[in-house]
Structure 1
Amino acid sequence: MTEAAAAQPLRCLVLSDGRRGIENQALGLAEACSRISELQICTQVIAHSKAIAALPPKGQLRLATFDLPECDIAIGCGRQAIAALLHLKRSRPDVFTVYVQDPRRAPTDFDLVIAPEHDSVSGENVIEMIGSPNRVTDTKIIGETLNFAQGLSKLPAPRAAFLIGGTSNTHKLDQEAHAAHLIAAQGLLKAGHSLLITTSRRTPEFAALAWRRLASDHDNIWLHDGEGPNPYFAFLGGAELILVTEDSTNMLTEACATGKPVFRLPMSGKAGKFQRLYDALEVRCGVGRYAGQVEGPDYEPLDETARVAELLSDQVKASDHGNA
């Protein structure tokens, strides 16, 4: 590699299906790598037709057309990114391919797999982590908290953030679970807390409606239900404690990146493999089921994304990928 080539930052392509929770995992990892050594990051949404998107990766690889920019590293997350990474690995061997999550196929199909510990993925080229990569940094939280300072100033401290997910393949936000969430919110309101509440696209309409009614009855509630600029990072920065529905690996680990007290809000269904995540977060960050408490143990903010980015960067440097 010439000195001129060495001076050029590596090009990193982030691949996803465009869903924010999926893209943010791959993008957060890429951004963490760029804080170690300069990267040129670009994102691309894999948007096949419905018929092709429904196919397994092998079928997509056979039938889909992939128009991907030149890159040295490709980081993909989510099922739709798998075939694109396989295409790159076959057509451009110099590209270092990284898959985030459990690929449900041989990890050796990629140069590196970064998977949650609770998925129990094993292999010589697998790095396990607590939860999932994210984009949470002190700089981002401080910046977004300042951007939304006017809105936060209208809500007296102490403040509690409620991060509400919804029904998934493993969890269900039903009437029973929602009732427990409302009881927690009403208890904190009664104790003098302001509430910062955000719902998701997976939140059932009956629950979203109930949160809107609660917010309309109180001056010290800020509800974000998808309209307007997203204050999510400002909520993390402006709250003294954070309550998260236990369906969301992303939101649980993002909340723990703040170093603040974090508690789980119950969901219906069996925890299954997620119990391993809950146990890990309880040991590492003191995260337990919410039962009226407002304080938690001291812990260092969780920054698994930075740890994994260091390992990824070391592997890229040790390889010939991107150096041809």
Structure 2
Amino acid sequence: MMSPDNPLQGRSCWIISDGKAGNDVQTHGIANALGLAITVKRIKPEGIHKLLSPWIGVSRGVRFGAPGSDFAPPWPDVAMSIGRLTTPYIRELKRRAGKATFTVILQNPKVSLKTADLFWVPEHDKLRGDNVITSLTAPHGFTEERLAKLRQTVPEYLSALPGPRVAVMLGGSNGDYTYSPAALERLERAIVALGEIGASLLITPSRRSEAAVVECARRASARFPGMFWDMTGENPYPHFIACADVFLAPADSINMTGEPCATGKPVYVFHPDGGSAKFARFHQALERHGATRPFTEQLSNLAEWTYAPLNSGAAIARQIVARYKTIQN
């Protein structure tokens, strides 16, 4: 939560969303840390406006600024976007609203720094400038207060499981990492190794997890105590984050690697095939902080280590307030 001198507390905020869950986690994490009154503006550009984003303008069909449009005055005090598809909307809003709206772009859509008042990128991204702020991990909603509340209301199915409880987050292939047959074999051995040392396994897929990844994890964990979320009913992921003693995170997900680092508890990282220089910088930075270690399949026991928890949402919010005050003055 922000301090009483936060001039953005209670102000109106548009979150321009492309509907991707990982992106919404980041924008909402910052907006909530700022205490903003959020209105989500969903966008779904098609055709050339999807193909050429972020460099093309907003489609005329959106009727940006016209009465009755989703993007009509009164303009918000703050607007936030993430991802290349949302960038044309923040650019158009800045052009029309001017100084009435403080605009923030998360991540690096590779556009001019004049597109918004402020940019945030993770430290492993090389974008820098006078209006660029950074943090080690991506923003999320797992504040100290939220984690404490979650620990006060532990579901019975979790409290009944013997410790240590290991949260296993499943990733999926993307442009940098691939879950090849060899990677799946390593993932299976990793999960079996955790089970064989006596851990209860709390397993959750992501929307990117292909069927082969899910089935691999299901097969590997079948004979061990735990819970496997089948993506129906209430998502137990927040309780997994709050209640797990140790984590196994996928290297291919910035969010699922960074979020458990808010707990100060050990985070092992499973690396599928591939990678990139940007991901390597991210993982090296977390290792230097003492938050994560690469997972080894020859695991005889769970190591114990601690570190300063990483709550980037609050840290980014403080930087945004400082920049906002500078601009307003």
TM-score of the superposed pair, with normalisation by structure 1: 0.89
What residue is the counterpart of 1:58 in the other structure?
A: 55
- Does structure 2 conserve the Cα–Cα contact (< 8 Å) formed by 1:14 and 1:26? yes
- Does structure 2 conserve the Cα–Cα contact (< 8 Å) formed by 1:10 and 1:72? yes
- Does structure 1 conserve the Cα–Cα contact (< 8 Å) formed by 2:137 and 2:310? no
1:48 and 2:45 correspond: yes
Determine which of 163, 168, 176 is the counterpart of 1:162. 168
| Distance in 2 of aligned mates of 1:7 and 1:201 | 33
Determine which of 320, 323, 326 is the counterpart of 1:312. 320
Count of aligned pairs between the two proteins: 311
Amino acid at match of 1:281: L
Q: Deviations over 1:25-56 (max 9, x none)?
A: 1110111111xxxx212222212235532232
1:255 and 2:260 correspond: yes
Q: Deviations over 1:230-257 (max 9, x none)?
A: 1111011121100101011111110111
Amino acid at match of 2:229: H
What residue is the counterpart of 1:297 in the other structure?
A: 305
SS at match of 2:85: helix
Q: Deviations over 1:91-132 (max 9, x none)?
A: 111111100001211122110000011110011100011131
Determine which of 246, 261, 275 is the counterpart of 2:251. 246
1:213 and 2:213 correspond: no
Matches within 5 A, 1:258-277: 258-277=263-282
1:172 and 2:173 correspond: no
| Distance in 2 of aligned mates of 1:305 and 1:92 | 26
Q: Deviations over 1:3-39 (max 9, x none)?
A: xxx89931111112111101111110111111xxxx2
1:130 and 2:130 correspond: no
- 1:184 Cα deviation after fit: 1.6
TM-score of the superposed pair, with normalisation by structure 2: 0.88
State the superposition RMSD in angstroms. Answer: 2.1
What residue is the counterpart of 1:228 in the other structure?
A: 233
- 1:216 Cα deviation after fit: 4.1
What residue is the counterpart of 1:140 in the other structure?
A: 146
Runs of 4+ in 1 over 4 A off after TM superposition: 145-148
| Distance in 2 of aligned mates of 1:178 and 1:148 | 32
Amino acid at match of 1:11: S
Amino acid at match of 1:27: H
| Distance in 1 of aligned mates of 2:47 and 2:189 | 41
CA change 1:89–1:299 in 2 (3 A) is same
- 1:76 Cα deviation after fit: 0.7
- Does structure 1 conserve the Cα–Cα contact (< 8 Å) formed by 2:54 and 2:109? no
Amino acid at match of 1:97: T
- Stretches of structure 2 that go unaligned for 5 or more consecutive residues are 1-6, 65-69
- Does structure 2 conserve the Cα–Cα contact (< 8 Å) formed by 1:114 and 1:126? yes
Matches within 5 A, 1:84-163: 84-93=89-98, 94-163=100-169
- Does structure 2 conserve the Cα–Cα contact (< 8 Å) formed by 1:12 and 1:75? yes
What residue is the counterpart of 1:284 in the other structure?
A: 289
Amino acid at match of 1:169: G
SS at match of 2:274: coil
